[in-house]
Chain A
């Protein structure tokens, strides 16, 4: 299958620190790829480069036929609103908006009508078992409820690619499993590709395959052979 997203020879540094040292990665429609490795190995930097939040220092990121690294920030931002879903460990909901308004927001920004956006939001909240929270503000919801709203918000635009950075890191085991199971179901049903950043092997178990990073590069052994001796 033709990859929907491809990163080639990606490098990125923060000041003197080399966070990515030539990483290649491919993601096919409907495929779930876990990116794992110890803290500071470059997992999140890779997610940021592939989703267009950061521009790599060198290398290319192709989404379908377009090279994101040559696109303007405005273009990349539009892509993130329409084609990509982005999800972080802490949902980052807008505190002034209700759960339903938070979930409807990406659709409204993309030009969907108010009523249709509200209906889609309610349906996604229902799918994640938080329909009862639709009219509540994040501050009155539990952490688990907030995160499930954040997942609904990331999926409401039916993105072609979901970027999830430790999406269940703030959840208890059973709630985390519910969220991951729904993400997998959505990926399979709609052909959504998922880049799942995690340090937890049990979360990586939901993926089809795994890319282990060590010091900013792929580590085929998964264990950092040659390091620590």
Chain B
């Protein structure tokens, strides 16, 4: 998970309150799973415990107390290290799609797997059309386009896998039942 480092990155420009971090996250990471406020505060708590952020100021303005957090020098080092670290390229196959095809063959038969593949393809194509419409809509920001591109490229990869797997379902069935 990269949420702690994303928060460190959002604090690189100066201290921010939790709710500002949540807003900045959702603005800069369109189409990411929205960050819950609770998750922001829990993550800030851990970052503070580890000395990567610190409380910068408190204001009350008549309402509930609000705390602004700032990056510490250790936090800046941690952020820098993260940015310089290459992510391990997909070390495991983590996909419910893949699991479902194998389990369909184990628990049922090749037709069950095929009908799942067809349904999944239709759902993927519908989502791909939605994302394409969103990124080509007038007024789409570059951030929207880049986020949609990421999602579209991954759906496209899944679609190609679905197509190729369909041709291999019968062989895979024989293998798992050998």
Which A residues lie at the B interface, using CB under 8 A? 177, 180-181, 184, 201-202, 204-208, 210, 221-226, 228-229
Contacts and interface: CB of A to CB of B under 8 A. Distances in A.
In order of increasing CB-CB distance, the 6 nearest A-B pairs are A205-B132, A221-B118, A205-B128, A229-B170, A201-B159, A228-B167
Contacts, number: 58
A204 B169 contact: no
Q: Which of A205, A208, A225, A229 has the most CB of B within 10 A?
A: A205
B129 A225 contact: no
Contacts of A177: 136
B136 A181 contact: yes
7 contacts: A202-B153, A202-B156, A223-B163, A224-B166, A225-B114, A225-B115, A229-B170
B161 to A, nearest CB: 11
Interface string B128-163: 110110001000000000000000110110011011
A175 to B, nearest CB: 14
Interface of B: 110, 114-115, 117-118, 121-122, 124-125, 128-129, 131-132, 136, 152-153, 155-156, 159-160, 162-163, 166-167, 169-170
Contacts of A180: 136
A181 B136 CA distance: 7
B156 A223 contact: no
A205 B125 contact: yes
A223 B128 contact: no
Contacts of B169: 228-229
Given A181-B136, A206-B132, A229-B169, A201 B117 contact: no
Contact of A229 (B110, B159, B162, B163): B110
B128 A228 contact: no
Contacts of B163: 223
Contact of A210 (B110, B125, B136, B160): B125
B132 A223 contact: no
Contact of A184 (B115, B136, B153, B167): B136
Q: Which of B155, B166, B169 has the most CB of A within 10 A?
A: B166
B121 A222 contact: yes
B128 A201 contact: yes
Contacts of A205: 125, 128-129, 131-132, 152
Nearest to A184: B136
Contacts of B118: 221-223, 225
A225 B166 CA distance: 8
B166 A223 contact: yes
Contact of A201 (B110, B136, B156): B156
Contacts of B167: 228
B130 to A, nearest CB: 9
A224 B170 CA distance: 13
B136 A223 contact: no
B170 A228 contact: yes
Contact of B122 (A206, A207, A222, A224): A222
